[in-house]
A and B are shown apart, each in its own frame.
Chain A
Amino acid sequence: MSSHLLPHPLPDNHGRAQWCVSRPKRVVIFVHGFCGSATGTWPDFPGFVVDHPLLSDCDFVYYGYEGKFTQAAISAGIFRDFLAELLGDPSAFANNALPTRGLGGRSPLLRLPGLQYDRIIIVAHSLGAVVARLALLGIDKKRSKTPQAYEWLDRVTLVLFAPAHNGAFTADLANTFLTNQGWDVSNFIGHIALHQSPLIQDLRQESQAIRYLRDQTKIALERAGGRKPGHLAARKVVWAKDEKVVVCLPFLEDEEADVLDADHSTVCKPKLNRKAPFRVLLEALEQS
Chain B
Amino acid sequence: MTAQDLELNYFHGSRFLSTRAEKGHRLIAQYVAGGNAHKLGRLLRSHFEEEVGPRSAAERYCVDCLLEYYSLLEIGIASGVFPTAVPQEITASAEVLHVPAVRRYYERHYPLLLPRMFRERISGNPLLAPEANSSTRARFISFLNLCSALEDEDTGYFLDFLEDGALDEGNGNWVGMEDLIALLAKPERLAKRLLVSPDKQGYLDASVQGLLRFLQFCIELDELLAGMEDTPALQSAFWHHHGYWFGLFSNAVSSALFNALDAFRSWVPETTNKTDAKRRKKIEDTLRSIATAENQIARLTSGIYRAYLDKKVFGAGDHPSINVGIGSIVQGRVTAVKVFGCFVEYLPGKEGLCHISELADFRVNEVEEVVKLGDLIWVKIIQIEGEKVRLSRKAAMAEQRAELAIEPRAEKPKQAYFGEAT
Interface residues, chain B, with chain A CB atoms under 8 Å away:
1, 3-4, 6-7, 9-15, 17, 81, 134, 137-139, 141-142, 144-146, 148-149, 187, 190-191, 194-195, 197-198, 209, 212-213, 215-220, 223, 227, 261, 264-265, 267-269, 271-272, 279, 282-283, 285-286, 289-290, 293
Output the nearest chain B residue to A62 by Cβ-Cβ distance. B145
Give the contacting residue for B212; candidates A51, A108, A183; CB below 8 A: A183
Task: List the A side residues contacting B10 at CB < 8 Å.
Answer: 5-6, 8, 99, 102-103, 109
Contact across chains for A192 and B212 when beta carbons are under 8 A apart: no
**In the complex, are the beta carbons of A108 and B285 less than 8 A apart?**
no
Interface assignment of A82: CB less than 8 Å from any CB of chain B = no
Contact call B286/A51, Cβ cutoff below 8 A: no
A41-49, A113-121, A207-215, A228-236 - the one binding chain B:
A41-49
Query: Roughly how many angstroms separate A143 CA and B146 CA in the complex, as a whole number?
Result: 38
B320 CB to closest chain A CB (Å) equals: 33
| Smallest CB gap from A1: residue in B | B3
Contact for A2 among B3, B17, B187, B217, CB less than 8 A: B3
Chain B residues in 8 Å Cβ range of A192: 191, 194-195, 269, 271
By secondary structure, the B interface counts as: helix
CA A102 to CA B219, docked complex, whole Å = 34
How far apart sit A182 and B10, CA to CA, in the bound complex (Å)? 32
In the assembled complex, the Cα of A232 lies from the Cα of B282 at a distance in Å of 36
Q: Are B261 and A8 in contact (CB under 8 A)?
A: no
Band of interface residues on A = 35 or more
Taking A43-B145, A184-B290 as contacts, is the C-beta distance between A69 and B197 under 8 angstroms?
yes
B-chain residues with CB within 8 Å of residue A180 when the two chains form the complex: 216
In the complex, residue of chain B having the shortest beta-carbon distance to the beta carbon of A52: B134
| Nearest CB of chain B from residue A195's CB, rounded to whole Å | 9
A176 to chain B, nearest CB (A): 12
Residues A39 and B3 in contact, CB atoms below 8 Å apart: no
- List the A residue with the shortest CB-CB distance to B16: A6
Specify which chain A residues have a CB less than 8 angstroms from the CB of B11 in the assembled complex: 6, 102
Are B261 and A185 touching (Cβ within 8 A)? yes
Q: In the assembly, what is the distance between CA of A109 and CA of B283, in Å?
A: 52
Residues of the B chain whose Cβ atoms lie less than 8 Å from the Cβ of A189 = 187, 190-191, 194, 269
Asked if A181 contacts B3 (CB within 8 A), the reply is no
A-B contact count (CB 8 A): 147
User: What's the minimum C-beta distance from A254 to chain B, rounded to whole angstroms?
Assistant: 29
- Contact string against B for A residues 159-202, beta-carbon threshold 8 Å, 1 for contact and 0 otherwise: 00000000000000000011111111111110111101000000
**Min CB–CB distance A86 → chain B (angstroms):** 19
Q: Which residues of A contact B (CB under 8 A)?
A: 1-2, 5-9, 16, 21, 37, 39-40, 43-44, 46-48, 50-51, 69, 99-103, 108-109, 177-189, 191-194, 196, 271-273
Complex contacts, A100 vs chain B, CB 8 Å: 13
Q: Is the CB of A188 within 8 A of B269?
A: yes
Partner of B17, one of A40, A102, A182: A102
Do the beta carbons of B149 and A40 come within 8 Å of each other? yes
- Whether B13 pairs with A21 at a CB distance below 8 angstroms is no
Is there an interface contact between B7 and A99, defined as CB atoms closer than 8 Å? no
B13: nearest chain-A partner, CB-CB? A102
Complex interface: chain B residues within 8 A of A273 (CB): 227
Closest to A39 in B: B145
Do B6 and A21 have beta carbons less than 8 Å apart?
yes
The 5 tightest CB contacts between A and B, nearest first, are: A102-B13, A182-B216, A47-B138, A102-B12, A184-B289
Complex formed: what's the CA distance from A192 to B139 in Å? 38
B144 and A187 contact, CB distance less than 8 A:
no
B residues in contact with A6, CB < 8 Å: 7, 10-11, 14, 81, 141, 144
A101 to chain B: which residues have CB within 8 Å? 12-14, 17
- Contact partners of A103 in chain B: CB under 8 A: 9-10, 13
Q: How far is the CB of B275 from chain A (nearest CB, A)?
A: 9
